[in-house]
Structure 1
Amino acid sequence: MARLDFGLQIEPQYGFSYEGIRGIAAEAEGLGFESLWVSDHFFMTPESVDTSCLECWTTLSALARDTRRLRLGAMVASQSYRNPALVAKMAATVDNISGGRLNFGVGAGWKDVEYAAYGYPFPSPDTRIRQLNDSLEIAKRMWTLGRATYEGKYYSVKDALCAPKPVQKPHPPIWVGGTGSFTLKIATRHAEAINFAWTIPTPRFKEKLDEFRGYCEARGRDYAGIRKSAGLMITMAENETALKAMLRRREANKDTPYAQYLGKQQPNLVGTTKQVAARIKEYTALGVDHFILRFHFGEEIEGMRLFTEKVKPHL
């Protein structure tokens, strides 16, 4: 198994300023986190009129200049929010600005209210996943060929140029996010890593990994050669007393727009630092070697420090 490492997820839709994100990134670098990931959304909810939501790719471009070691990526970029050839060009640019630190995280897209608000078509899940396949075919050609041509059912390019090429060769690692069967099959064709997030318990996680292994075998792809990543939403304190106090504070704020939105995605790790370490070991026993951690909004630095000091040494 590849070495165990940890990343941090940032959700700009919750209201982060760029200064806040930059400060969190600096702390993550100092604590030895391997990666920082940014979600790809335009707003949190239709009611979030006054809640800031920085755009994903421009945020990554800024972080590429403001960090030195962290690997950077979207978790995940929604493939149908932007023309795929343009995304490939943008990704190559970010890889150059960062000196070869881009992880190309991509998925089919899911947040229908954003599609409707921005005037984008929102086809069926199967169609969106087939579009994802076309997008990745185009990206790989643009990153590796002098002139890229691809005729797909949904997206096409003809003699498309992309210079400079990405720093990473043959191209930035492709991270596919999702758990659906069709998505897993696409991952066997294109991905260097796959991420499962955010609320999957370990028994279900094992089922999906077994399913993915079967698809790899059917395609002749080395299952062990694809990194397995878990996105974990963590509510954590050093001891039971502190944890109960934290949960009481959450309950008192349950009517805020952020809490109501988050209520649709309950944390999959709630406990003391010792309990969280034990739960993470359940995932590593399944072959997971990368974890993308998501802490409560506004508690990222505190959470990273506690994790680094009290959880990581026991893994």
Structure 2
Amino acid sequence: MTHPIRIGVQLQPQHADYAQIRDAVRRTEDLGVDVIFNWDHFFPLSGDPDGKHFECWTMLGAWAEQTSRVEIGALVTCNSYRNPELLADMARTVDHISGGRLILGIGAGWFEKDYDQFGYEFGTAGSRIADLAQAMPRITARWAASNPVPTRQIPVLIGGGGERKTLRVVAEHADAWHSFGDVDTLIRKSAILDEHGAAVGRDTAALVERSVGVGAPPSEVADALVAAGVTLFTVGTSGPDYDLSLAAEWVAWRDAQG
């Protein structure tokens, strides 16, 4: 399977009124990106730690109605915050609202403040990854048992880089893998992912799309990332202004690839 080059924008739902987020969604879709992501946190990750912030999945439902072309999703949902069956049903509902444009981005969770302030058990990295591994088959089973079933096989994007456990979950369940770190780290962990794929009987080199966040212009980083196998490039931007100038450069670069 050859994955097309795609550009995403993560509209970080912080430091903005919702009207500003809605406007940013409109501008981002008009720009021509392929995917619009938010994130699944309860507090800002940068700037004023107690600044304005909005919840992930209610927002995705609104985006499903507002948009008509782009795929939408969280980069990424925290598995700890919702029962797997509930999350599956939420995702199925947004899938239908959007006409089949949802990506289920999911990860094990890491932001301790969210857990503490909202009453979740933080546990350990190992316990959170184990919970994610247990959740994935429950999510797909709930989709299969739903009425109506999802409009399509909802793509699953898993974010994380743990070499022994997280990449094993990616190899077993993901359609896309979101990597964190530099190009050398990506290359090394991508090879480890493919080793896990061989162990579980999946050709992850062909089946699992490689995804990264980018904070520099394509002229500086695109060639090395493409050579490393990346096809989904996501620019993050925060409120209140939601500057899309870097995203515009990446869209122009994508279009120039022919």
Using the size of structure 1 for normalisation, the TM-score is 0.75
Describe how 1:204-243 pairs up with structure 2 within 5 A.
204-223=185-204, 224-232=206-214, 234=215
Where do 4+ consecutive residues of structure 1 move more than 6 Å? Answer: none
Distance 2:237 2:99 in 1: 28
SS in 2 for 1:85: helix
Give the structure 2 partner of residue 294 of structure 1. Answer: 236
Q: Report the Cα offset of residue 314 of structure 1.
A: 5.1
1:176 aligns with 2:118: no
Superposed CA deviations along residues 16-75 of structure 1, whole A, max 9, x for unmatched, are 3222222222222222210011100001269633x2111000000000000000101111
State the match for 1:7 in structure 2.
8
CA RMSD of aligned residues (A): 1.8
Q: Measure the CA separation in 1 of the matches of 2:174 and 2:139.
A: 12
Shift of 1:111: 0.4
In 2, distance between residues paired with 1:98 and 1:294?
22
TM-score by length of 2: 0.91
Distance in 1, matches of 2:53 and 2:112, equals 17
Number of the residue aligned with 1:38 = 38
Aligned length: 252
CA distance in 2, matches of 1:292, 1:306: 12
Residue 78 of structure 1, CA deviation: 0.3
Letter in 1 for 2:137: E
Question: 1:304 aligned to 2:243?
Answer: no
Q: Distance in 2 between matches of 1:286 and 1:134?
A: 30
The Cα of 1:163 is off from its aligned counterpart by 2.6
Rounded Cα–Cα distance in structure 2 between residues aligned with 1:204 and 1:314: 27
Secondary structure at the aligned position of 1:106 is classed as strand
Kept in 2: contact 1:277–1:312 (CA 8 A): no
**Within 5 A, what are the aligned runs for 1:134-145?**
134-145=134-145
Pair 23,172 (structure 1): closer, same or farther in 2 beyond 3 Å: same
Does structure 2 retain, via aligned residues, the 8 Å contact 1:277–1:314? no
**Structure 1 residues 313 and 163: alpha-carbon distance in aligned structure 2, compared to 1, 3 A threshold:** closer
Partner residue in 2 for 1:76: 76
Alignment partner, residue 87 of structure 2:
87
Letter in 1 for 2:159: G
Tell me the percent identity: 31
Counterpart in 2 of 1:18? Answer: 18
Corresponding residue for residue 178 of structure 2: 195
Residue 62 of structure 1 corresponds to 62
* Residue matched to 1:185: 168
27 and 219 in structure 1: CA distance in 2 versus 1, 3 angstrom threshold: same
Structure 2 CA distance for aligned equivalents of residues 4 and 93 of structure 1: 28
Q: Which runs of 5+ in 2 are unaligned?
A: none
